[in-house]
Amino acid sequence: MDTQILSGKVVSESVYKGLKSRIVKLKTNSITPCLAVVLIGDDAPSHVYVKNKTKKFASLNLNSETIMLTNETSENALLEIINNLNNDNKYHGILVQLPLPNHINNETIINAIDPKKDVDGFNPVNLGRLAAGRPSFIPCTPKGIMRVFEYYKIDLSNKHVVVVGRSNIVGRPISILTSLKRKYSNATTTICHSGTKNISYFTKQADIVILALGSPEYLKGDDIKEGATVIDVGINRVNSLSDIGYNLLGDCEFSSINGKASSITPVPGGIGPMTIAMLVENTVEAAENKIK
């Protein structure tokens, strides 16, 4: 079987093309979508990710500003910065890059972001709207996964989706999105996680497997059925002798799944570009809400 590669790069370019007219309309109303990114500490992947976001915003003539803070920044100081951003009309979206230092509570910070500027979609207000089937800002990675299904016309209706991972960033939101009664969704969805006994029992039944574990090459070819679709959200840095000192690996073992799955997202170049595309789209949407 020839496995189809589901390219996030291709899908993201179609997203940017579709946003052009919306951005032009905003600018005719003297509004340029602007994202504020708060980056704390020296986590290398976070710095690379924020750099890529900034580069993409600039290429679309959108505004983004990064507030860089040290690991010693207190929770109260961070809350004050978020409060200022909430009240500054210059910024349409606010993103606090995770992970945060151990002395700062993730939930406290996420709760402090104005839901109308929460373009990451992590605030409980936006997660609650999603759970109720009336989404506002959808978390970027799950939203990007659904856009890949739509672009490649992979209809989930009457299919069994197995999600491996239950985080509020990917696993839980995508389990809701795949089961909503709407086009390209309407699946029967199962969530597996660290408390699930014999995860491969479930993945072998799945028509679509969505991996969001953060465990390199966890899923093998023997763990899926012939013709399944595999969405690999994992981006894991594994030390190597390469020039850059590491390789990027997904949560699935591509070599054993390629040829058995009907389609798969690559790592890199799969869901990663879609996450950034959906962040741009959510920021544009936040700016549009200002003129509604």
Q: Is residue 121 domain-resident?
A: no
Secondary structure E strands in the chain = 4-5, 34-40, 63-69, 93-96, 160-164, 188-192, 208-211, 229-232, 236-239, 246-249, 263-264
Q: How far apart are CA 145 and CA 167, in angstroms?
A: 15
- Identify the CATH number of the domain in which residue 180 sits: 3.40.50.720
* Predicted structure pTM score: 0.96
CA gap 70, 164 in Å, rounded: 33
What SS3 class is residue 144?
helix
Tell me which residue has tokens 């590491």.
Answer: 246
Question: Do both 191 and 266 map to the same domain?
Answer: yes
Q: Are residues 152 and 258 in the same domain?
A: yes
Q: Is residue 96 part of a domain?
A: yes
The residues assigned a catalytic role are: 53, 97, 120
13 found inside a domain: no
> How does pLDDT run along the chain (292 residues), one tens digit per residue?
899 999 999 999 999 999 999 999 999 999 999 999 999 999 888 888 899 999 999 999 999 999 999 999 999 999 999 999 999 999 999 999 999 999 999 999 999 999 999 999 999 999 999 999 999 999 999 999 999 999 999 999 999 999 999 999 999 999 999 999 999 999 999 999 999 999 999 999 999 999 999 899 999 999 999 999 999 999 888 877 777 778 889 999 999 999 999 999 999 999 999 999 999 999 999 999 988 7
Structural domain for 49, as ranges = 29-114
Write down which residue in 114, 148, 175 finishes a domain. Answer: 114
User: What is the number of domains present in the chain?
Assistant: 2
Residue 4 lies in a domain: no
Whether residues 89 and 186 share a domain: the answer is no
Last residue of one domain, picked from the residues 114, 149, 172: 114
* CATH number, domain with residue 72: 3.40.50.10860
Q: Kindly state whether residue 285 falls inside one of the protein's structural domains.
A: no
> Does the residue 1 lie in any domain?
no
> Is 46 part of any domain?
yes
Give me 229's structure tokens: 């679709």
